[in-house]
Structure 1
């Protein structure tokens, strides 16, 4: 049996873009960019894991 470091994988599911349709009460979703921010954060530290 080898003593190796296991690979770490993450599946990022989210919505970065909402179409500009308004809801009945006038509310709307703004573009959050959540997945892009998480990916930007994880890339540098993924090399150290």
Structure 2
């Protein structure tokens, strides 16, 4: 069981890094949009 688990980790780690990178990129691309929406709302309210 330990060997199978270790093999799964060895195979899964690169995929995890790719998935984490994709999530990080998505979060980074959404942050400016959220900030832009916040600024536009503030400018509209004032």
Q: TM-score if structure 1 supplies the norm length?
A: 0.36
* Larger helix share, 1 or 2: 2
Where relative contact order (Cα < 8 A, 6+ residues apart) is larger, the structure is 1
- Larger Rg computed on CA atoms: 2
